[in-house]
Amino acid sequence: MVGKDTAKYTVNSDLMKNKAWEYHYFPDSPTAVSGEYQKDPNGGKLVEVSNPTGENFTTSKTDHAEKSSGSNIVPQFCEDYVKTGRRIVAVHIARGGKPLSVFTPGGDLNKDIMEKYQGALDYVRNDPRLTVGRKFYLMMQGGSDTTNGTTKQQYISTYKLFHNSLKLKFNFEFGGLVQNSKNTTINEEGIMNIAQAKFDLALNYDDIIMTSTETLTYYPDNLDYLLNDTTHYKAETMKKLGASICDTVTTYMGLNKKKLELLNKCKNKKKNQEPLPYIF
């Protein structure tokens, strides 16, 4: 790292006091060439994580980071993650209303995922003030697959292609799944097919974890408990999801000391508990 020019990096001294950033791949005012936005020639930049997360641009050809609608899980996740004492760079790559297949190798958005995440890695590696640490991804997807006829086995096979492509390219430590909402009257069979596929993936692969199942709770008397409509989560729901997902992830990573201490106490208590007497 010696001899690197820090002047080109947009993480100024004030911003460096933060512990959570989002990587932006494009200039503030990106120019479109042949209908496609061009990435920042300076390698992008880090900005403070805030609501809404995502780069403020849209284009029919390039969908690196659709800007979230008002709120999402990323800011709350990052806010809780830094409580472990670690720093985090979020790389937000999203496109609503798309089936899982578009994110796999050869899919419409796979190249975008690879390019943007590689850009973030290069940025952090080239800034002498930052260090690449543990890498993982979170996937909150599946709504489209619940309505387009995707079977449980098809989703499992497609997800393995997606997951393995990221592992091969970036050596992610693990991937985290989030269940879709059952709190809707739309195609319950499809919702449960995808839900079971996600459970099977988390159960059968050590490097895929289930981070949250809260949204599978069904409230027939209060259908808008989690959702603004039949599809989109409320901002408060996203905050709750961000916190619960972070709790699961940091526990899995061995960073959530309070949770780990509690789990160990429960384990020891159960181990030392006297057996119940037989009843004849």
DSSP line for 96-144: TT--GGGGSTTSTTHHHHHHHHHHHHHHHHH-TT------EEEE---HH
Q: Which of 81, 77, 5, 97 is nearest to 43 (CA)?
A: 5
Tokens of 6: 């820090």
User: Scanning the structure block, which residue is given the tokens 């994580």?
Assistant: 49
More confident call, 179 vs 63? 179
Residue 257's pLDDT is what? 79
Tokens of 258: 């309070």
Can you give the pTM of this predicted structure? 0.82
Statement: residue 171 has pLDDT above 90? yes
C-beta of residue 85 within 8 angstroms of C-beta of residue 96: no
Q: For residues 4-15, give the mean pLDDT.
A: 50
Statement: residue 135 has pLDDT above 80? yes
Cα–Cα dist 204/197, whole Å? 11
3-state SS assignment for residue 43: coil
Q: What percent of the chain has pLDDT over 90?
A: 36
Residue 31's pLDDT is what? 67
Provide the b/e sequence for 197-224 (b: ≥16 CB within 10 Å). Answer: bbbbbbeebeebbebbbebbebeeeeee
Tokens of 173: 């430590």
How long is the chain? Answer: 280
Cα–Cα dist 114/128, whole Å? 23
Backbone angles phi, psi at 84, to 5 degrees: -80, -10
pLDDT tens, residue by residue, 40-65: 888 888 888 887 777 755 544 444 45
User: Scanning the structure block, which residue is given the tokens 């995502």?
Assistant: 54
Question: Across-strand partners of 209?
Answer: 176
3-state SS assignment for residue 26: coil
Statement: residue 184 has pLDDT above 60? no
Q: Which range, 15-29, 93-107, 126-140, 196-210, has the best average confidence (pLDDT)?
A: 196-210
Tokens of 166: 């990221």
